[in-house]
Structure 1
Amino acid sequence: MLLLSGFTFSCLWVFGLGQLEQTELSVTRAMDESAQISCKVSLQDFGKVDIHWYRHKRNQQFEYLMFVRTNYNERTLEGKIKKIEATKDVQTSTSTLKVNFLKKGDEAIYYCAVSSNNIHKIFSKGTKLTVIPSDKRFDSDISPKPTIFYPSIAETNLHKAGTYLCLLEKFFPDVIRVYWKEKDGDKILASKEGNTMKTNDTYMKLSWLTVTEDSMDTEYRCIVKHENNQRGVDKEILFPPINKAFTAIDINPRESVMRCENADETNCKILLDVLQLQVTNTSAFYTYLILFFKSAIHLAFVTFCLFRRAVPCNGQRS
């Protein structure tokens, strides 16, 4: 996972001390531009607290950048005056880090932090900064494009469960958060997801939710958080109850394949190929196990027979 959900490096959560929130999962800017990363601090006496900023580059140690105590601080870095600036806004309890003269080497995950008893620090979850070439051009919309897949008849009949799948593709950058809730619920449900995969210059990701027979009449939401969502609002994809889903897409009761909606031929083929590969690998694995145990039983039987043949009988070998 690109963003750390918790920090175990010089980090301690102290109940009641406060909370740090970096609302942006990622920030993308072109080289030579500036990037701003904000940190909301829910803490009493915010104006008297030092806000620290760190960054973590891939395969490197954490790097301390600077702190801001009053309302402004700056740092010269790599020969650039005001390469990094930090501010504090008491009215909004927010600290903002600004990285200027961007270059590829500035790509990292940036964290804000506050001190606890001058010993430990409380860290936020971080914001990833991506720096792209100045001449790089994308399509006008590089937000996640959803393709939804309903459960198969075979799964619901055989396992008394159903799996909803949400394929998200053609988005940039790669940082994305996907989670599931009931239509009118606030609780985040247990779901699974695949790795984020690169396809040409953009990315794709698969997330799925499996529900039991008792929950098949419930509507669910697949919620997608991404930097380039329209108006910065989390995208929600609504999944109808399983029985209604079958009716809506007019599935033949004899069919046992998974169906997809709002997907072009390429998207369907990508996912169905992945699922087919998983089924093939699983079948091959169990076939191997069966053959292995069969061979083991045969070997044990042959060994037993040879052992009996070698056992003396009344002082004589058989």
Structure 2
Amino acid sequence: SVRMLLLQVLIVISTWSYGYSQITLIQTPLSVTRAVTKTARMACKITGVTFNSAFIHWYRQRPGAAPERILYIESGSANMDAGFDSKRFEAEKIVSTSTCNLKVHQLTREDAATYYCDLLTVKLSATSGVLIKVFGSGTKIIVTGKLCGNYSNLLPHSDEQAGKVSYMCLIEDFYPDVIKVTWEDDNKNAEKNGVHEEIWPSDDNNSSYSMSSWLTVDKNSTKNYRCKYQHETNENGFATIESPGIYYIIKTSSIYI
């Protein structure tokens, strides 16, 4: 007899844990800034599934609009959705690295958007099946001629308040405004609690941005802390502070495309 399977649809961002396995989609880079007519490239690394047979989709989401599927690929050539030109949108699966790459050729202003990879797979049990749809975190394409980075500055801790002290990491004059900041201690353990951040335009024309991220810890902590940031101009920028308040300045060069 044929066993009927109940399929439950789950839409998940970035990771999905199922039993003892975890499906993870990691997109790189955070953003890609290119001039008109150039090519933008991005990658999606997938773990937790049989990559060879996985169906991978790529979506484009323009500001204020619903996501549009560009294509999907299992093996061989990608299957394009209506309205998308296979000469401009190119996807390939690299089995050796479990990575699916997307290239957007001959960029136009209309290509400025956030691009998401997506995995559709089925997990089966003895009595049912689960249809899992997992999205990556996204890569933003900015179509322009400017890409710049400047200073990362980790400031000494503030005065004690209620048994706590705060450290601030100031990152100035970067573009585009897609940036990721994390804090870690001496042992490279991520600090998740007591972290806050704010980003703002550096000028009236929004031609560059600045950001502050601050970490609040117990005043008796003897750890040293590192503020790390990821940005197109410097994927491994960092500033380190050693108690009670020595700080370093890291400068990145400006790049124009």
TM-score, normalisation: structure 2:
0.79
User: Do the aligned partners of residues 210 and 131 (structure 1) sit closer, same or farther apart at CA in structure 2, a change above 3 Å counting?
Assistant: same
**Residue number among 177, 185, 188 corresponding to 2:191 in the alignment:** 188
- Whether 1:21 aligns to 2:33 is no
What corresponds to 2:133 in structure 1?
121
Give the 3-state SS of the residue equivalent to 1:38 in structure 2: strand
Question: Quick check: 2:55–2:121 contact (8 Å CA) kept in 1?
Answer: no
- Whether 1:63 aligns to 2:77 is no
Question: Quick check: 2:33–2:146 contact (8 Å CA) kept in 1?
Answer: no
Identify which range, 165-174 or 143-152, moves more after superposition.
143-152
What corresponds to 1:163 in structure 2?
166
Question: Quick check: 1:74–1:85 contact (8 Å CA) kept in 2?
Answer: no
Question: Quick check: 1:31–1:102 contact (8 Å CA) kept in 2?
Answer: yes
> Pairwise mapping of residues 145-294 of structure 1 onto structure 2 (< 5 A)?
145-152=151-158, 155-156=159-160, 159-190=162-193, 191-199=195-203, 200=205, 201-215=207-221, 217-229=222-234, 232=235, 234-242=236-244, 245=245
User: Do the aligned partners of residues 80 and 19 (structure 1) sit closer, same or farther apart at CA in structure 2, a change above 3 Å counting?
Assistant: closer
Cα distance in 2, alignment partners of residues 74 and 100 from structure 1: 17
- Whether 1:131 aligns to 2:138 is no
User: Do the aligned partners of residues 77 and 131 (structure 1) sit closer, same or farther apart at CA in structure 2, a change above 3 Å counting?
Assistant: farther
- Whether 1:40 aligns to 2:45 is yes
Q: Which has the higher contact order (CA 8 A, sep 6+)?
A: 2
User: Do the aligned partners of residues 27 and 74 (structure 1) sit closer, same or farther apart at CA in structure 2, a change above 3 Å counting?
Assistant: farther
Cα distance in 2, alignment partners of residues 79 and 119 from structure 1: 27
Q: Which has the higher strand share?
A: 2
How far 1:48 moved relative to its partner? 1.2
Question: Computing the radius of gyration over CA atoms, which structure comes out larger, 1 or 2?
Answer: 1
Identify which range, 181-190 or 219-228, moves more after superposition.
181-190
Amino acid aligned to 1:238: T
What corresponds to 2:4 in structure 1?
none
Give the 3-state SS of the residue equivalent to 1:82 in structure 2: coil
How far 1:113 moved relative to its partner? 0.9
Amino acid aligned to 1:33: K
User: Do the aligned partners of residues 210 and 42 (structure 1) sit closer, same or farther apart at CA in structure 2, a change above 3 Å counting?
Assistant: same
Cα distance in 2, alignment partners of residues 150 and 17 from structure 1: 39
TM-score, normalisation: structure 1:
0.65
RMSD: 2.6
Give the 3-state SS of the residue equivalent to 2:52 in structure 1: helix
> Pairwise mapping of residues 97-108 of structure 1 onto structure 2 (< 5 A)?
97-108=102-113
Alignment gaps of 5+ in structure 2: 1-8, 123-129, 251-257
User: Do the aligned partners of residues 236 and 261 (structure 1) sit closer, same or farther apart at CA in structure 2, a change above 3 Å counting?
Assistant: closer
Aligned length: 227
How far 1:225 moved relative to its partner? 1.1
